[in-house]
Amino acid sequence: MARPHIGKKEEKYVLEVLRSGVLSIGPKIEAFEKNFAKFVGAKYACAVSSGTAGLHLALIAAGIKEGDEVITSPFSFIASANVILYVGAKPVFVDVDPLTGNIDPKKVEKAITKKTKAILPVHIFGQSAEMGAIMKIAKKHNLVVIEDACESLGASHNAKMSGTFGQSGVFAFYANKQMTTGEGGMIVTNDRVVDELCRSLRNQGRAPDMQWLDHKYLGYNYRMDEMSAAVGLAQIEKIDFLIKKRQEIARWYEKELKRLDSLVEIPYTHPEAIHTWFVYVVRINNPRTDRNKVIQDLAKKKVSSKPYLPSIHLFSFYKDRFGYEADDFPVSEKISASVLALPFYIGLTRQDVRNIVEILGTTLQKYERIQK
């Protein structure tokens, strides 16, 4: 499904760390943070152990606490909702745009109550949500915006980078992302106070001017190690190349998939957005087609695929805790029921893409004949 693009510079930087003996809180993390902030256009960047850790700290820094409500999307990886529970607040889902799969701004305002303190939009699959509309709503109701940009590094809306609209934005660097550090994440912000607090919280609550065993806040061990930062530094130095290659592979898929337009719907890109392609996901047009059987058939032909993503509110934990049921968020559920992620990584050739699409078409056509 995915494969990181690791080169000689990543190896060189990691070896430099290992030979230095400084394996944590060293010069590589400082250089990585500086270069990352410059790329996204933020004043500050704070490296952490994961995107989930970054979202957790961003919520704490925003003052979100027990009893508060945070509006977010049900069509996302589960971490974007779980972090709201970490701080004792309640995730309030609103449905998504049927084209992009991003949170629908038209539905956000209707979900606001006296308990609402923040909006946490998720930029899904490499495409920014409609942040102009979301920021207007947030300003009108005096709400904090924390962006989950974990899947959308380098994406933009109206020429402004994802992660830079709200008080803070969070990115993730798992091995299937646009760039990787193995595990890891980054909090970006233009607010010095937020940055300083996140830096303290990631390091067990110790302020920069404190002795090692003195702590100001209840903090966490959310630090990124120097080896991971070394990989990240090499990756951010070639991020333009990494994104352009992903965009090229996405164009190959789009061209090849046009001949399957009766069978699948290709991803939609908003005209005001730059898409940076975390994954390549199609939607199966025929609702009667058994997607799980399609996945099994593709696997037999050596093509990996996944049902990406389920809707969070239908996970048993959320159903049991909040009483969610099917049809509560029908757009999200419809997308979740039809999406199919195809192999997507730098290293795929044009012929690989042709072969994948041909096998996909043959498989789907088989089910069309069965249904007739």
Which tens digit of pLDDT belongs to each residue from 17-76?
999 999 999 999 999 999 999 999 999 999 999 999 999 999 999 999 999 999 999 999
CATH architecture of the domain with residue range 8-238: 3-Layer(aba) Sandwich (3.40)
SS3 call for 47: strand
pLDDT of residue 298: 98
pLDDT grade, residue 207 (50/70/90)? Answer: confident
Categorize the per-residue pLDDT at 280 as very low, low, confident or very high, splitting at 50, 70 and 90: very high
- Is pLDDT above 80 for 208? no
Average pLDDT over residues 77-84: 98
| Tokens encoding 197 | 């607090």
User: So what's the pLDDT on residue 372?
Assistant: 64
Model confidence at 210: pLDDT above 70: no
Average the pLDDT over 288-316 and give the result. 97
pTM: 0.96
Distance between CA atoms of 230 and 180, rounded to whole angstroms? 11
Q: Is the pLDDT of residue 367 over 90?
A: no
- Segments of the chain assigned to CATH 3.40.640.10: 8-238
In this predicted structure, what is the pLDDT of residue 123?
A: 98
Residues 6+ apart with CB under 8 A from 164: 40, 41, 42, 188, 190
Report CA-CA distances (Å) from 3 to 11, 247, 340, 348.
16, 16, 18, 10
The pLDDT value recorded for residue 371 is 73
**Beta-bridge partner residues of 341:** 281, 306
- Note the pLDDT of residue 368: 85
- Specify the length of the chain in residues: 372
Q: Where does CATH 3.90.1150.10 sit in the chain?
A: 240-371
Ranking 12-16, 99-103, 367-371 by mean pLDDT, the lowest is 367-371
Look at residue 212 and tell me whether its pLDDT is greater than 80. Answer: no
* Interval 228-248: pLDDT, tens: 999 999 999 999 999 999 999
**pLDDT, position 9:** 98
Q: Tens digit of pLDDT for each residue in 334-361?
A: 999 999 999 999 999 999 999 999 999 9
Residue of 185, 253, 260 whose CA lies nearest to 29: 185
- Of the candidates 243, 90, 84, 94, the one whose C-alpha atom is nearest the C-alpha of residue 178 is 243
Interval 118-135 mean pLDDT = 98
- Continuous segment of H or E residues that includes residue 350: helix 350-371
By DSSP bridging, strand 116-120 and strand 69-72 are parallel
Distance (Å, whole) CA 266 – CA 258 = 8
What proportion of the chain, given as a percentage, has pLDDT over 70? Answer: 99
Exposure b/e, 308-329, CB count within 10 A at least 16 = b: bbbbbbbeeebeeeeebeeebb
Task: List, in order, residues 6 or more apart from 130 with CB less than 8 Å away.
Answer: 97, 102, 105, 157, 270
Region of residue 141 (phi > 0: left; psi between -120 and 50: alpha; otherwise: beta): alpha
The token pair at 205 is 């609550």
pLDDT of 209 strictly over 80: no
Q: Do residues 298 and 60 make contact, with C-beta atoms less than 8 angstroms apart?
A: no
Using pLDDT thresholds of 50, 70 and 90, give the confidence band for residue 211.
low
Q: How confident is the model at residue 370 (pLDDT cuts 50, 70, 90)?
A: confident
CB atoms < 10 A from the CB of 368, how many? 14
CATH 3.20.20.80 fits 240-371, yes or no: no
pLDDT for residue 293 = 96
